[in-house]
């Protein structure tokens, strides 16, 4: 058993002149303050990676920089799934007794710390260095391929995907930390600049600077307790060319494992936070997991099903699509906001019901999956 004791989330967007370590320190300071803890209370540290700071020992570099002396520390790398994988590790460390209070932190100056080409090329390396990347493939291209197959298989349309971009923007509009807060319409998404068909620029998350941290501990802390009930992973392939099935990527298998371990079913879930690097990522994950029927997530979004006061509030901070995406901290923002929701501290953005939450992240091209089930105790 473990608890989320505190969370810290910076605004995402442009943080001119701030380094990866600066941003990680900002979020860690916020998380410690939120939990009412000091540096000396932390005995475990789990970090991710930063494309602008590819150090082989990021966790201990950060420990020294921030001024903590943990008994356990290292970094984790599973692409976009890293944030939730870090939290899963912290949960397991606390359950095993290896640590009492684990600081989990990610951050990166991904937007201002490198050129846009460098960022796009760094991410494209998730593809196969010999069989995919030399073709001129990019992450949006891999997801464009996924989207085309998905539309063919289930009848989803570009408008259906666009509804999810509109939803994330509407949620972001209410959060002062979000990178993009101007409302957008389905027509604007459809008319936006093509990137890799069927994906347009407004189907894609931005590249951001920012950071996020959470503290996972054995005993509940200052706030109403939020318990990590279970966590699960599934990894069935790495490259989209080698995916065993272009409609089932492992997300359903992963959430089923997490729900079974928590003694819960999808019917028990009151709010959700799901990885949304592209609109198609969100549609596909929602529909494979079963949070929406196949081909229906866009319609449900339009009908308010995923809104703050709907049946399944989803990514109420605006998700990667509109809050922003700075790498490891991108998905961690989903958890930080879920923590606020579950402790009743989201003010004007508060969901009426947030007692049981399902979080799901993916890394690579839908290849690495991590699910978390959280409960307000």
Partner 1 sequence: MNDTPHAQLADWTRGEAGIALQGCTACGHAWYFRREFCPACGAGSPRSMPAAGGGTVAALTLVHRAPDDAFRAEVPYALVLVELDEGVRVMAHGNPDLVIGDAVQVSFRLIAGRLLPHFSRA
Tell me which residues touch partner 1 (CB under 8 A): 117, 120-121, 124, 128, 130-132, 134-138, 140-141, 144-149, 152, 193-199, 239-243, 246
User: 6 vs 198, which CB is nearer to partner 1?
Assistant: 198
Q: Which is nearer to partner 1, 70 or 364 (CB)?
A: 364
What minimum distance in Å lies between the beta carbon of 37 and partner 1? 43
Shortest Cβ 124–partner 1 spacing (Å): 6
Q: What is the closest distance, in whole angstroms, from the C-beta atom of residue 327 to partner 1 in the complex?
A: 18
Closest distance of CB 199 from partner 1, Å: 8
**CB-wise, 116 or 347, nearer to partner 1?**
116
33 versus 201: smaller Cβ distance to partner 1: 201
If the CB atoms of residues 120 and 376 are measured against partner 1, the closer one turns out to be 120
C-beta closer to partner 1: residue 24 or 123: 123
- DSSP for 50-83? -TT---TTHHHHHHHHHT---SEEEE---GGGHH
Got the DSSP string for 157-199?
-HHHHHHHHHHHHHHHTT-TT-S--S---HHHHHHSPEEETTE
**From the CB of 370, what's the least distance to partner 1, in Å?**
24
- Shortest CB 138 distance to partner 1, Å: 5
CA dist 48 and 58 (Å) reads: 8
Nearer Cβ to partner 1, position 3 or 278?
Answer: 278
ω before 198 within 30° of 0 (cis)? Answer: yes
CA 289 to CA 85: how far, in whole Å?
A: 18
H or E segment to which residue 301 belongs: helix 297-302
Cβ burial 110-146 (10 Å sphere, 16+ → b, else e): bbbbbeeeebeebbbebbbeeebeeeebbbbbbbbbb
Cβ contact 215:102 at 8 Å: yes
Q: Tokens representing 224? A: 């109403």
Q: Cα separations (Å) of 258 from 8, 141, 253, 294, 369?
A: 25, 30, 9, 21, 11
Residue 109 to residue 21: CA distance in whole angstroms? 9
Minimum CB distance to partner 1, residue 7 (Å): 34
Beta carbon nearer to partner 1, 98 or 120: 120
Beta strands in 207-342 (DSSP E): 209-217, 226-235, 271-274
Q: How many CB atoms lie within 10 A of CB 303?
A: 13
Mutual angle of helices 279-289 and 158-172, in 10-degree steps: 100
Q: Which C-beta is closer to partner 1: that of 141 or that of 211?
A: 141
CB of 291 to partner 1, least distance (A): 24
- Cβ proximity to partner 1: between 246 and 261 the closer is 246
Question: And the tokens for 360?
Answer: 């799901």
Q: How far is the CB of 120 from partner 1 (least distance, A)?
A: 5
Q: Is the dihedral of CA 147, 252, 334, 24 positive or negative?
A: negative
Q: What is the smallest separation between the CB atom of 135 and partner 1, expressed in angstroms?
A: 6
């Amino acid at each position: 058993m473990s608890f989320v004791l505190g969370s810290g989330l910076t605004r995402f967007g442009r943080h001119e002149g701030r380094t990866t370590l600066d941003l990680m320190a900002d979020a860690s300071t916020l998380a410690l303050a939120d939990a009412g803890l000091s540096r000396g209370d932390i005995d475990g540290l789990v970090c991710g990676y930063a494309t602008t700071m590819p150090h082989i020992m990021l966790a201990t570099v950060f420990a020294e920089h921030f001024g903590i002396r943990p008994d356990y520390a290292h970094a984790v790398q599973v692409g976009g799934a890293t944030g939730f994988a870090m939290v899963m590790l912290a949960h397991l460390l606390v359950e095993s007794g290896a640590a009492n209070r684990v600081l989990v932190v990610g951050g990166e100056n991904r937007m201002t710390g490198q050129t846009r080409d460098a960022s796009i090329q760094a991410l494209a390396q998730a593809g196969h260095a010999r069989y995919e990347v030399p073709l001129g493939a990019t992450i949006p291209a891999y997801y464009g391929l996924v989207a085309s197959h998905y539309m063919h298989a289930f009848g989803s349309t570009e408008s259906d995907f666009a509804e999810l971009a509109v939803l994330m923007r509407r949620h972001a509009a209410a959060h002062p930390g979000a990178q993009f807060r101007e409302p957008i319409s389905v027509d604007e998404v459809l008319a936006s600049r093509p990137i890799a068909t069927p994906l347009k620029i407004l189907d894609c998350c931005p590249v951001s600077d920012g950071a996020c941290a959470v503290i996972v501990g054995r005993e509940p802390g200052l706030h109403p307790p939020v318990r990590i009930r279970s966590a699960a992973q599934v990894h069935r392939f790495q490259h989209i060319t080698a995916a065993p099935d272009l409609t089932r990527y492992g997300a359903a298998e992963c959430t089923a494992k997490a729900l079974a371990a928590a003694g819960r079913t999808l019917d028990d879930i009151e709010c959700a936070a799901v990885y949304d690097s592209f609109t198609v990522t969100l549609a596909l994950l929602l529909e494979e997991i079963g949070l929406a029927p196949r081909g229906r997530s866009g319609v449900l979004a339009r009908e308010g099903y995923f809104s703050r006061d709907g049946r399944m509030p989803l990514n109420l901070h605006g998700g990667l699509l509109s809050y922003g995406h700075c790498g490891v901290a991108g998905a961690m923002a989903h958890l930080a906001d879920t923590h606020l929701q579950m402790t009743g501290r989201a003010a004007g953005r508060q969901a009426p019901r947030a007692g049981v939450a399902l979080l799901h992240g993916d890394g690579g091209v839908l290849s690495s999956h991590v699910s978390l089930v959280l409960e307000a105790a």
